[in-house]
Amino acid sequence: APDSPPQVKHIKMQTIRASAAARSVRPASRVVKAQASLQKVAQVAGVAVSSFALTLAAHADVTVKLGADSGALVFEPANFTVKAGEAINFTNNAGFPHNVVFDEDEVPAGVNADAISRDDLLNAPGETFTVKLTTPGTYGYYCEPHQGAGMVGKITVQ
């Protein structure tokens, strides 16, 4: 009001500013709440997807590359753990020929290393040898032609 004392004008302006500030804060708080809710949904979804992937991985067959993509004479992975009876697929990848020989001195007692080995060479790209180990314990294995180059590994069966 034009004839209001200066103190009243000052109070009215502060009220108008406070009211405008309050209006501008309300939508922002709703946005923050919505973002927080979306983050929670994303976190829960991420946990669910991760759990599902771990469950699949726990029940999936294992594939071991014979020779690294770089051409190195190694098993990839060389050392790993499987559940008893899970299929292990050894697949020719690079630097072949390869084979998979289980060391008779590095298998659980009572396991016939010759029966689970593949002495014949895998010569073609992608050629696969599959084995299922059913006795829990540690199994040492190697590629006969490349053992001296360090192509060795260990499998732990649970």
Mind telling me the catalytic residues? 98, 143, 146, 151
**Residue 92 CB-density burial (10 A; 0-12 exposed, 13-18 middle, 19+ buried):** buried
**Residue 10 CB-density burial (10 A; 0-12 exposed, 13-18 middle, 19+ buried):** exposed
Cα–Cα distance measured from residue 7 to residue 89, given in angstroms and rounded to the nearest whole number? 87
- Residue 73 and residue 151 in contact, taking contact as beta carbons nearer than 8 Å: yes
